[in-house]
Structure 1
């Protein structure tokens, strides 16, 4: 065994020669622009990730109460959640787009991704990321690929209704993940292929443990097995008992391999979607049977789908019509309600319960909905509802260019010379949740049933050590006049609580804001933004704005205005805020350039990253019901050189063992 280390420092130049192989996906097949779209959207034929469709905000309810009191107490509150880990809000990255989102190889990491994860790790202590999805089920680990890429799709091998292409990938794929974790505190979930039972290919698990070490925290066993029959991967009659038996066959196969000893207790199941209920799986004895093997119990769920626009199957849904259904507290409650029995069951078994894959809608989401400020508030409220309901994590899905719901999207490869990343509204949700829950890993969340349990103005209190430390307020209404702003009067102790008032002299507030619930870009969190399409290197732009609100100590309340629309995170003490500051954020800058001739001159402050021209075979998602209709584009170039630099001249050692 031998090892080598590649040192990348300020000014390091790597000469890369070879073919360019990348595509731009121009549309989701069948997705027609809507009458509610802007004029520019009416003729739009570009990728879904940049669709300009803007919808009409729903009307404000006429009976909205404009003010309400939130009475908090110290010393513990009945009904609060179990302790919630700081890394609660994570991401599920479709395996087939890893070389677009994470990096081209182990030595060329996507700097914006590092920055985006660093922002969250600073606030929450760490981030969990799942790499998998439908494409993990047929993925095969190979020593190398003919063209040296870390990932290849067999687009001619598509044989199922989801049109998911088989993959091959190299160990470099896992080294890329490991090198990311050496820079930012990211932990990983992977999945074993589960189509060929009992002839399991366990290479990804074996190599994953060797390369990722304790950064590997979960191995998924089957992705949506309850949909296997629909997707032609199992015969009619396949059920939850069959899945449990196949899970057992996998455990037996792992027990026969000495390299799998540490992996046998980090398995994840049952990962079902909608065809089976969790209770059906629990009733097989699944959890007791595999208790020593299961690190997490997990499910996957999208609240709706846009599959008719994609494949002409299912129910046709107009985004304008579904938009209001996302703009209410009932949206998240409706999803979570079917899992309340299971989160309680998981506690009796000592297992964390996770939402392993979710987002606004399967088959890519909806234009004008999934990429709107409304989705940011929806994702925020949905995640906090899951935390309150005793989930231990929620992973929001990341696909390719042809989905509307991405938390973040790298530019198409043929635009990476001059375009940066696009940050979606769901990433803003992640930032707020990270700060709301904090990094203590001991926070408890309580749904306050605010404003008479009004569905448009939910509120949560976050407790540590039994005492309230932060309050999150949301206003789903969209009203530029200000007439639908609401005021929450927060009181701690006093009144009828039997406690003396401990309302502070002042509190600090951060706002998540946009001018409209339908706004698509330039959202702000504490006055900082990631800009418009193609505008971000993963670092927030602008000056952070933290509002100090004086409290009325005579009345024992702090009056917090919640704009329509917005979310307000209230820090009840300075320590409640500094906890989330963590260590100074480590961010990275890059001067990566992929073309040194026939170029335009761009201000480096504006264009600070590129994902290069090599290593991308197709930009698209292969999550459930999602596929690109684009074909590959090949072009020869004489050479390719990349300059990769880090701020402060930091030298980053990327270790690699063979």
Structure 2
């Protein structure tokens, strides 16, 4: 390593680092400006206020705030609701769900921002965020892939030593997807992360060239990740291939069936480098909306490839922002006009009815059925919706509805700084020494859903608004569309009930009181309640889950701030409890024969990674200011530390990373933990 590449790892308080940096400009992604103009103008017109101008910065930090819809009329929104709940699982309850149901899909092109610079420098805030979930679930499932996996090529090295590089000049698709090259160091980075946190990985095999399948990611993935590798995706949204120019215009389900079979044959022929295990980890068909999954099933896909299929999969976003983000020429969705669609339980239920036959078929065939990539809207989401409290409540409802309808996992997508829907976003590279991470609404959704489903791997979920109404009619109070209720049964007994109130009402007149009538034997008359809160669905940042928050933009190291607030509710009788659901909020009610003392349920011991270790680059080569100004952390322009694979890949035993705490900082045996 030359002097110009030398780095120094300092254990410095972040407050001190912040004090020596005044400010830095954030440059905008031009294609997002149309949407920001429309949203800002609409919000200003609705409120009768002037706007200082549209936001023109990075979408992940968009300051545009919409107007929350007005509360519904009292005549259409009853605030006194009665639910009859049984101790035994009710009719139409879901299959048992695993604790890691809520997972993440990370676009391959941004892993060097989100996960770490390389196998020797891991992002500490990411580890903390995952540790929060591990404490609740014991395990997290993450997919690394997306559109960028299709043209990715594993190479021995890159010219500048980075773990991946993007060919921005070769970007294609309406989403401007750049081809990638990456090194095995990326896979060692995943392995080292899994040595700290129990994360299991899905990877994608490139599928753009069926005459020359590039199987190196499967070969190296099995060797490096071992049992941490749980799935290999074959084709990402193949129903969009023709539309994106990646296949002939006639490309259809039968063609995908044939290509999938060709991939299997290529894997079988690669026996010198590939064991038989990866052949059994395949994931498909991962269709979006052009083909229905039933069209793929009709080809005989499941039976033909049953020995190879570890998971069946689809991908779905309920809407799209492509017209505003990429100037496709289609009508632009104005976020202010459609915010109500994300505050309606019916709008959650509707799109997912498409998959009812598929989930039933998956159960029949004994295959897990994944929502392999999802979020609020494709092409980056909507500012003011995806990045507001609306997105948090919607994310809870969407994930719970997926669980209730027998999906076996939901992976919420993570992009770069140019999207609004991220569960978590690292700061741009040129601000990483003085700005922290931004934790988005759907990360709060992950916490709520993880606790709702719990760590037992036996939980069954029921949408009480739809299924229970049929069971108990006519002795059931219909729920308005802005109020949602899910029952969760664990080990065959009612364990938790989750409520969502989508209404914003500063007068408290839309707060709802739910009377829960229970038939639980040995119930002691107390329950515990955790609340997901914000004053309005339009608020950005500083939401609280059980009193704890991750702050606003650039304010989080991945550890919750504040004291946990679990409220104990004394029930009116041994069989009747009154639960308040504020407007807006989600409320998770914990039931237990011992008086509800299960709100502190754990999937794993609490783990915290200190983040006072920051990286400072000294004596480096000078950087052209124009290059720095336009990097925005999107291309990983500043390389920190060595990418020498020998640091972490000698033998399986040396992959395990030991940590030593030093004065609140962290020094590692085989890997540094990086605050960036």
Name the structure, 1 or 2, with higher relative contact order (CA <8 Å, separation 6+): 1
Name the SS for the 1:297 alignment partner.
strand
Change (3 A) 1:213 1:639: closer
In 2, the alpha carbon distance for the partners of 1:320 and 1:111 equals 36
SS at match of 1:42: coil
Contact 2:375/2:412 (<8 A) preserved: yes
Equivalent runs, 1:147-162 vs 2, <5 Å: 147-162=160-175
Kindly report which structure 2 residues correspond to 1:182-331, keeping only aligned pairs within 5 A, or say none. 182-258=195-271, 259-313=274-328, 314-331=330-347
Deviates more, 1:74-83 or 1:371-380: 74-83
Asked if the contact 2:162/2:639 (under 8 Å) is kept, the reply is no
**Equivalent in the alignment of 2:654:** none
Structure 2 CA distance for aligned equivalents of residues 281 and 315 of structure 1:
30
Give the Å deviation of 1:164. Answer: 1.0
Deviation digits for residues 416-474 of structure 1 (CA, Å, limit 9, x no counterpart): 11100000000000000000000111100011117513211110111012210011011
User: Is 2:69 aligned against 1:58?
Assistant: yes
Q: Which runs of 5+ in 1 are unaligned?
A: 1-7, 13-21, 494-499, 599-612, 621-631
- Quote the offset at 1:9 in angstroms: 11
- Residues in 2 aligned to 1:579 and 1:420: alpha-carbon distance in whole angstroms: 28
Alignment partner, residue 548 of structure 1: 568
1:404 is matched with which residue? 420
Structure 2 counterparts to residues 103-502 of structure 1, below 5 A? 103-258=116-271, 259-313=274-328, 314-449=330-465, 451-493=477-519, 502=522
Q: Which residue of 2 aligns with 1:75?
A: 88
Distance 1:489 1:121, change over 3 A: same
SS at match of 2:279: coil
Query: SS at 2:393's partner residue?
Result: helix
**Alignment-derived partner of residue 603 in structure 2:** 582
Counterpart contact for 1:84–1:444, Cα < 8 Å: yes
State the Cα distance separating 1:308 from its structure 2 match.
Answer: 1.4
1:182-219 alpha-carbon deviations (Å, 9 max, x no partner): 00010000000001003100000110010000000000
1:566 corresponds in structure 2 to 585
CA RMSD of aligned residues (A): 2.8
The alpha carbon displacement at 1:252 in A equals 0.7
* Count of residues in correspondence between the two structures: 604
SS in 1 for 2:615: coil
Please give the secondary structure, in 1, of the residue aligned with 2:362. Answer: helix
Shift of 1:158: 2.2
Change (3 A) 1:23 1:107: farther
Matched position secondary structure for 2:540: coil
Residues 636 and 179 (structure 1 numbering): CA distance in 2 closer, same or farther, change over 3 Å? closer
Counterpart-to-counterpart distance in 2, 1:639 and 1:164: 28
Instruction: Quickly say closer, same or farther: Cα 1:645–1:370, change in 2 above 3 A.
Output: farther
- CA distance change for structure 1 residues 576 and 152 in 2, over 3 Å: closer, same or farther? farther
**1:580 counterpart SS class:** coil
Give how far 1:392 is off: 0.2
Q: Which residue of 2 aligns with 1:593?
A: 614
Q: TM-score, normalised by structure 2?
A: 0.85
1:121 Cα deviation from its structure 2 partner: 0.9
Which secondary structure state, in structure 2, belongs to the residue aligned with residue 180 of structure 1? helix
Task: Check 1:75–1:402 CA distance in 2 against 1; reply closer, same or farther (3 A cut).
Answer: same
- Give ranges in structure 2 of 5+ residues lacking alignment: 1-7, 13-23, 470-476, 620-626, 644-658
Partner of 2:5: none
Partner of 1:46: 57
Which residue of structure 2 aligns with residue 626 of structure 1? none
Instruction: Tell me the TM-score normalized by structure 1.
Output: 0.87
Q: What secondary structure sits across from 2:452 in the alignment?
A: helix
CA deviations over 1:19-72 (Å, ceiling 9, x no partner): xxx996513513343221586773422111111111111121112011112211
1: CA distance, partners of 2:188 / 2:528: 42
Give 3-state SS (helix, strand or coil) of 1:428's partner.
helix
- 1:249-295 CA distances to partner (integer Å, 9 max, x unpaired)? 11111112222311011100000001100110000000000001001
What's the CA shift for 1:311? Answer: 2.2
| Cα distance in 2, alignment partners of residues 277 and 305 from structure 1 | 18
Residues 119 and 671, structure 2, Cα contact 8 Å, conserved in 1:
no
> Where is the helix percentage greater, Structure 1 or Structure 2?
2
Q: How has the CA–CA distance of structure 1 residues 370 and 126 changed in structure 2, closer, same or farther, with 3 Å as cutoff?
A: same
For residues 652 and 437 of structure 1, the distance between their equivalents in structure 2, rounded to whole angstroms, comes to 34
